Structures are given as C-alpha cells and as structure tokens.
Structure 1
Amino acid sequence: MNASLLATQLKERALSMGFAVAGIARVDQPAALPARTAALERWLQAGYQASLGWMADPRRRRIDRLLPGVRSLLAVGLNYWTDQQQRPGVLSIARYGWGRDYHRTIDRRLRTVGRWLSQQHPGCRWRVCVDSSPLMDKAWAEAAGIGWIGKHSNLIHPRHGSWLLLGHLLTTVELPADSPQTALCGRCRRCLEVCPTNAIPEPFVVDSRACIAFHTIENRSPVLPADVARGLQGWIAGCDLCQQVCPWNRTVTPTADPERQPADWMLTANAEQLLGWDDATWDEKLRGSALRRIKPWMWRRNIHTAVTGQP
C-alpha cells in the first residue's frame, strides 16, 4: 500500500472509532513546533506551571524520546460536547469529566487503530499518547491540521469548536502530512475577559497559579487562595468559562457517544447532597472517571469554598 493511501485509510479508521477529527503530521516538517517549544520555555520560566512539575519533562520537547525512530503521528480529537445541561443551582463541573475517563477511551480506541496499522505495515512500531504523556499535544494536533490553538490555549476546530479531547498515535511509518489550519481567533478577547481570576494574562498564555481548573483539580493545599475562592463562581471541578464564551463553540454538534454522557448526579446534585457523601460514596460515584484525580477531601474543600466564596 502506498503512503498516501495508507494515510487516508488510517484517518478513516480513526474516524470510524468515534473520533470527530483526524490528521497527520510529519516529525521532520512541523514548522510551528520551534515557536511552540519556545513558548513552553517562556511559560515555564515565568512560573506559570505552579506545581505542575511534569510540564518541564524534557521528553515534551523531544518526541523521539517517546518513540525512537518516530517519523509521523496521527492526531485525533474526541468531541465531548453533549446537549445536556446542569440544572439551575447545581455546582458546576467541567464537561471534560462528565463521561467515562477519556484517557482510557482514547487510549483504547487508538490502540485499535495502531493494531490495524501493524497489520497494514508489518514491522512498524507505534505508541499511543493522551494528555498524561509528556507530549506537546496541542502543538502536534495543530501541526496535523485538526485545528489551531486559540487564545484560551485550547485547540479549536472550525466545526467542532474547542470541545475536543486530544490523542496521538506516534509511528515509525513515514506518512504524508496534512496542512495546518489558519488561526481564526482574530481580535476576539472574550476568553481573556470572562476569566474571573485573570488566569489568561495575555493571549495564548494560562497562568496556572490563578486558574480555577488548576486549583480545583491539582491544588493539594487544605485551602484555596483567597482570590481564587472569590472567583470560583460555583465551579468545583475544573472550569469551562473560557470555552463557553468562545464564538467557535456556538454551533457545535452534540456527541451521541455513550462514553461522553454525564452521570445523573453531576446534573442534579446540590451542595448539601454532595457534602453528605462519605469517602466510600465519592469512590463509588467517581469509578471510571477522570475526576478521581480530585480526592474526596478536595471535593469537600471545593464545595465549601464555592458556596461561601471564602478559603
């Protein structure tokens, strides 16, 4: 099979697995990667990573350390926008965590694609990466042509908006690359202006030290900073504000993927109910969820803080 046909069928195979978009980048051709790498270095030097020490992993700058001999990668985006809404008065949970753990979903589906690739190209090697891997996932997705990085730092696709969970299949097979898309944020600054804690100090830069998502998911301190506490606006697990105001998210088609649908309690439970759960209940409710990263005591901290507006 020639490389062009293989690339086409590889992307078709990915789309058949439920991914909304798929594109290919060549490791030796991504013109934007040096600029994205330099931006990462500036971000780290500014201390914007807070306690996210793994963002400095040197493998993030050297894709060949993840898969020696890598020549190409398949980038995919999984639509996680559903047409369901949380009821009024319910504390807010970011949509990425509504369904089953997306790491497992993307990993499982891309492994199926990888096994198919091995059948078509015996002897090739491949590796699946989700956002828990030290890969510049947004930069490589941009290089593969499945969107552009918006001012809120999320990848934006012209039809699917920024409600995309990213995955990558690295491979030693040399495949033709897709063309990058033109960035279309223009002069829009809605994502910067909506953030209640000013966590986006300039376009394309997120300061984790002020970010609601960072503090509700990653901050292991007994109390949240006072300025973050005052700005929570009801968020107890992540934050979608910058995506909710993005014009590219106005007409996104909802996904019917059963693994992306929310648990009933996420749409209906109020603070009183959630604070009544013991650790075992939290463990049961979050089984198979990416939100298990938030420990029970952190949930209670976040809920108390969101209700009172105080640390």
Structure 2
Amino acid sequence: MNVPDVGAQLSLALKERARAEGFEPVGIASLPGSPRLRLRTEALQRWLDAGHQADMGWMAAPRRRSADTLLDGAQSVLAVGLNYHVAHDRRHDRLAVARYGWGRDYHRVVNQRLRRVGRWLQDQQPNCRWRACVDAEPLLDKAWAEEAGLGWIGKHSNVIHPTRGSWMVIGHLLITEPLVADEPAASRCGRCRACLDACPTQAITEPFVVDSRRCIAYHTIENRSERLPAAIANALGPWVAGCDICQDVCPFNQADVPSSEDPDLQPRPWLLDLTPERIQSWTDQDWAERLQGSALKRIKPWMWRRNAEAARLDDGPTLS
C-alpha cells in the first residue's frame, strides 16, 4: 500500500470518527490553502483597517493570518460543523436570545469532542500532533471551513451549507499529517440581498462585510458601555443576547433544515421565557446559577439588565 492510499484511508476514517461525535458536515483542507483563502486573509486586514472590529482587539492577532503558527508542522485541517438548530421556536411575547446560546456552551462541547477525535487520530498515527480550535483561537475559522467544503461564507458572514443552512457552530483540528483535501465550497448567494435588507441597523454595510459597531449581536454581548448607543437601542426590538435576524431571513434556512436532538444543544427553558421584569429582578447570584456552563456567561448581569431596559416586545424595531 503506498503513502497516498494510506492518506486517503486515514482521511475517510478521520471524517467518520468526527461524525461519530455528532459533527456534520465535516471536511478536510490542506495548508497553506487555496488562493481564495489568501483573499480571505487580505479581506480580514481591510476589515480591521476600517475599524469594523470595534473593541474586539483580539481579532487583530497576527497569528490569525496563518494556521501553521498555531501548530508547528501543521499540514492539514479537519473542519467540522455542529448543528444547533432545534425543534423550538422563539415566543413573540418574550425577549429574544440567539439560538447558538440556547444550550450548553458550544466552546466546551466542540472542544471536548474535537479532542476525542484528536486522541483517536494519535492512536492511529502515534507521531501525529494536533490542536483543537474553536472560535476563541486566532484562526480564520470561517475561511477554513469554506476551504474544507463545509459551506460558503454568506453575505451575512456566516458559513452556509446548501441543505443545512447556517445554523451551525464550527471547529477545527489542526493536524501534522498530510491528508486528502476536499473541494472548497462554491458560493451560492447569487444576487440575494435578504440579510442585508433585513438588518435593522444596516450592520451589513456591503456583501460579506459586517460592521460590529452597528451590529446588535456585538452590542448586546461585547459592548461594555453603561448604555447602548441610541441607534442600537432604538432598533433592538426583543433582542437581549445576540441576534438571528440575518440568519432567520436567509433562503437556505427556510427549507426543512435538520433539527438537532443532541442533549447538549437543547434549550434551557428559562432562555425561551424571558421577560423584562424577570431580567431586572434576578440577582447576580441568580444569573450565575442560570448561566453556569453557558456561552452567554460572557454577558454580565448588568448587561442583561441594560439590554432588557432598551428591548421592546410590543412592536418591531425602528430606526432613529
């Protein structure tokens, strides 16, 4: 058996092992990536130069420009998606929380499962080294997911799978083994402008460019100011933790996208039953208990109260 055959068999087995952890889609890319990945890297720099990262200084980490700076000798990337769409809907008479935060902290879920895949890989190839990356790592995660064929980066900047839509978090396993790469995904957004037109704050300033300074998700999660900017507060609608508007209107999320039954991704009931009164009445200790093991722990109790004060349930968002 020659080396390419060994690489092909290992690549198939690795993807099946990832699927056994609940990941789908899965794909493989090879470093340093195609010319399109280099274009994505250049686009990141333009985005940073324009100040679209707001206060998220970590987005400018130089290591984000090259995956091999995260693992010396890296030759391949296993990219995985984890579907977080579940068979529950938001109530229109309750405050809204982005779907990704309904269940257990996806950073922990994806990291733990990727590490199990990595240990399996090392059992197969003892000299192999690997590193698990979720979105807290300085990696161009969406670009590498696109490179590995998981889907294309949509105009709202999320990765879209043709039959699963964009309701997925992504993770990567950097690997020192040479593996067989999949074809990069081709964009299928075409002339669609649904996400650009639906954003109440015009945060998607042009296709594929999201200005965090205008983004409801950024302001409800990352903005540490005592008060939200007036333009954001006036357009907030029911959103108190993130925002799904651009994904809700995406045509690829309108069909029969699969719903996950994964226990780690099922919603905490209180997140679907939020009212301004509850948010304002809970103590910091109440919040600590409710947010244990949640990605939404990043939102401090005073921020929940600030967001709830600006949110509205009675009418849709308006622009100032």
Matched residues in 1 for 2:274 and 2:49: separation?
Answer: 41
Q: What letter matches 1:192 in structure 2?
A: L
> 1:26 pairs with 25, 30, 44, which one?
30
Deviations 1:171-190 (A, max 9, x none): 10010100012110010000
The answer for the alignment partner of 2:85 in structure 1 is 81
Secondary structure in structure 2 of the residue aligned to 1:28: coil
> 1:247 pairs with 229, 248, 251, which one?
251
Give 1:49-64 correspondences, 5 Å limit.
Answer: 49-64=53-68
Deviations 1:158-177 (A, max 9, x none): 11100010000001001010
Matched residues in 1 for 2:33 and 2:246: separation?
Answer: 31
* 1:283 lines up with 2:284 in the alignment: no
Deviations 1:170-224 (A, max 9, x none): 0100101000121100100000000000000100000000000000000000001
Q: What letter matches 1:306 in structure 2?
A: A
Secondary structure in structure 2 of the residue aligned to 1:103: helix
Query: Structure 2 unaligned runs (5+)?
Result: none
Matched pairs, number: 311
* 1:43 lines up with 2:47 in the alignment: yes
Q: What letter matches 1:298 in structure 2?
A: M
Matched residues in 2 for 1:193 and 1:29: separation?
Answer: 33
The answer for the alignment partner of 2:10 in structure 1 is 6
Native 8 Å contact 2:53 2:212 kept in 1: yes
Q: What letter matches 2:228 in structure 1?
A: L
Shift of 1:287: 0.5
* 1:158 lines up with 2:192 in the alignment: no
Q: What letter matches 1:188 in structure 2?
A: C
Give 1:62-211 correspondences, 5 Å limit.
Answer: 62-211=66-215
Deviations 1:63-101 (A, max 9, x none): 111001000010000000011012231100000100000
Over aligned residues, Cα RMSD in angstroms?
Answer: 1.4
The answer for the alignment partner of 2:299 in structure 1 is 294
Q: Which runs of 4+ in 1 moved over 4 A?
A: 308-311
Matched residues in 2 for 1:46 and 1:269: separation?
Answer: 36
Native 8 Å contact 1:33 1:139 kept in 2: yes
Task: State percent identity of aligned pairs.
Answer: 58
* 1:305 lines up with 2:320 in the alignment: no
Matched residues in 2 for 1:208 and 1:240: separation?
Answer: 14
Shift of 1:15: 0.6
Matched residues in 1 for 2:37 and 2:178: separation?
Answer: 18
Matched residues in 1 for 2:196 and 2:92: separation?
Answer: 25
Query: Structure 1 unaligned runs (5+)?
Result: none
Shift of 1:32: 1.2
Native 8 Å contact 2:84 2:100 kept in 1: yes
